[in-house]
Structure 1
Amino acid sequence: MTADTRTILILGRNGQVARSLKEQLTAPGHTVVKVGRPEIDLCDPSSVSQVIRAAQPAWVINAAAYTAVDRAEDETQAAFAANAIGAQAAALAASEVGAPIIHFSTDYVFDGTKAMPYVETDATSPLGIYGQSKLEGEQLVAKANQQHVILRTAWVFSPFGANFAKTMLRLNQERPTINVVDDQHGNPTYAPDLADVVGRIITRLSESPPNQNNFGIFHAVNSSPTTWCGFAQAIVEGAAQRGAPQATVNPIGTK
């Protein structure tokens, strides 16, 4: 079968990345389609395959996932069903219609002990079920579809949905002091910036023939590393500049 060169199919309807992608990738000559529940359920691979085969897209972007990091420890089966088996089903179906897949992963595939920022060639060593399920998803996607771009990102925030930035803005209004851990490091990443990266990837890989070096695993985060406490401090300071109260951000250690 031949893919529809105008259709970009986004798996995931209401997440931060999916909603940002819908806005960013809307362009003349292209149809951007988002699908989510009830049409697809990553825990039901057949539903994923059916939707992709019916759509015949030129591109599949998997922005859907099981993301409850803590709850995954008690819901191992659900985490692996969505993040590994479901991701594999998406990659296989995309391959069958001749479409590359862009798949989102996470910094949780690492153990977090490295003092410097992680690079793509660093050894993975996830500590929990969530990270393990995402790592297995990476491996299955890569095997299922040679035309894969796996984007590892971290600390995503946006105007959409629930995220750390919006939580801090709410707490800044409610409390005079906010306690935030200061011993975990990462790169806060703005979801619309991720969407912009995806748009540039699609443009580059639409060249004929595509450069095979542009397929593979890549890290996609904003460039300023910080701690959760540092991120919170920047958020409340920005809110204060717009006339909001400014809570005191108190650094604490991870319990």
Structure 2
Amino acid sequence: MRGAFTGAVSDKKGVFEEAEGGTCFLDEINDINLNLQAKLLRVLQEHEVRRVGAPKSIKVDVRVVAASNKELEQLVSKGALREDLYYRLKVVSIYLPPIRERPEDIPSLAEHFLRRYSRDMGKPVTSISNEAMKLLCAYPWPGNVRELENVIDQAIALSRQPMLTPEDLPVEVREGKASGFSRRREQEEEFVFPGTPTMDEVKKRYLVHVLGLTQGNISRAAKILDMDRRSLYRMLVRYKIEPYSMET
């Protein structure tokens, strides 16, 4: 608001005012601090915002779509996300699996990023070789879509030919499949109990083992363990296991 602080010489609409009558997309909602969460909760509950230094609030009519790259239920259990905000946001939930669970989407995504970055860089890179595409589809992508985007961006920047080949890809992508198999084999060999463990120790070690096999994927781990996701989350909290540390 004009005059609210030094240098404020004109009124400026905030994000929610700009989105009036439309949709506001909040990416990585899991990263906002508790203070900001309280302010966001007020917007969602009261449908109003207040500019810095303004004497009164302004009503807003905005649809909010929020995205997270972490399991929000677990953040709530840890106290990192307000429970009341979680339920305010959880009106309609859409679970989008990471691309390692839907490799059939990788070619379309890779070609999309290829067109985008070749155009932005002004480089005539127009295709991806079959060998390079096979490597992209085999890699587990711990960084999900953003990692794929960065890999294509880097490959185009370094490429000197119109087709991306395996030589244009990072070493970890070229060798990703082999290293993934070796990690699984090591995890299987480590699933050994010396001495006589307690039942809790057995359960915890087995949970860690299964999460290692699924690379931290909750849905796949729950299916292997024949339990629903909510029950699995409760066990993870009980045994203080962080599934995201299992991702490769």
TM-score normalised by structure 1 residue count: 0.26
User: Which structure is higher in RCO with an 8 Å CA cutoff and minimum separation 6?
Assistant: 1
TM-score normalised by structure 2 residue count: 0.27
Which is helix-richer, 1 or 2?
A: 2
Which is strand-richer, 1 or 2?
A: 1
